[in-house]
């Protein structure tokens, strides 16, 4: 039986495209943490719970099936682009259904990668929606500043690990607690950050 763990991304992707489902699953599992990292800041500022993880996974699977090394980008770069595109598309679709445009495609990561973003240059839809304006202003650094004002030391540690893409079980192991305590902490973090950012309580589904 083939040991997929020893294969690099290109080898796994090539096998996956040829119809090897085990190779596809192995490559997807390798990048699930990236999916969580891309999606979780969006959860904290009002995303649609674990649905975004599923959407990000769809983006990852699309990357596996469509990646072409001839384009010049590494698989990891292409996968991240596909994941983020799928997440932003899902957010905009959900926003239209709720008649509430969350951020018109502006995420915390995008703002933190480009700290010089001028709020006035953002789409008109964003600038005229108070909630969207808050999202657009908040970089990762500002999110952490907000967390330092309203979260306990334990909650800050949970938040740091959560944004790194760790599962509840992995966070619990790191902090010598149980997954239920981590889950409760994440719910508190969302509520506290929502109030700190004047968003009101975030609905957790």
Question: What is the distance between the alpha carbons of residues 37 and 161, in angstroms, rounded to a whole number?
Answer: 10
Choose the weakest-confidence range: 8-12, 29-33, 37-41, 158-162: 37-41
Average confidence score pLDDT of the chain: 75
Residue percentage of the chain with pLDDT more than 70: 68
Residue 36 contacts by C-beta under 8 Å, 6 or more apart in sequence?
Answer: 53, 56, 165, 166, 167
User: Which carries the bigger pLDDT value, residue 184 or residue 144?
Assistant: 184
Tell me which CATH code domain 1-100 carries. 1.20.120.1810
Stated pTM of the model: 0.62
User: Which residue bears the tokens 């981590």?
Assistant: 182
Answer positive or negative: Cα dihedral of 80, 84, 87, 93.
negative
Looking at mean pLDDT, say which of 127-141, 151-165, 189-203 comes out highest. 151-165
């Amino acid at each position: 039986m083939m040991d997929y763990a020893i294969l690099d991304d290109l080898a796994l992707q090539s096998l996956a495209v040829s119809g090897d489902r085990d190779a596809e699953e192995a490559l997807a599992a390798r990048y699930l943490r990236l999916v969580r990292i891309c999606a979780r800041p969006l959860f904290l500022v009002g995303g649609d719970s674990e649905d975004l993880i599923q959407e990000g996974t769809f983006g990852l699977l699309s990357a596996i099936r469509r990646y072409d090394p001839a384009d010049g980008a590494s698989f990891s770069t292409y996968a991240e682009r596909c994941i983020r595109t799928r997440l932003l598309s899902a957010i905009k679709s959900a926003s239209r259904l709720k008649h509430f445009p969350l951020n018109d495609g502006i995420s915390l990561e995008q703002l933190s990668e480009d700290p010089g973003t001028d709020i006035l240059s953002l789409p008109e839809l964003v600038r005229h929606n108070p909630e969207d304006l808050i999202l657009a202003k908040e970089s990762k650094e500002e999110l952490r500043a907000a967390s330092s004002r309203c979260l306990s030391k334990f909650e800050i540690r949970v938040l740091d690990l959560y944004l790194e893409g760790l599962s509840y079980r992995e966070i619990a192991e790191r902090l010598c607690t149980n997954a239920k305590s981590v889950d409760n902490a994440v719910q508190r973090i969302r509520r506290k950050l929502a109030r700190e950012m004047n968003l009101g309580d975030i609905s957790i589904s």
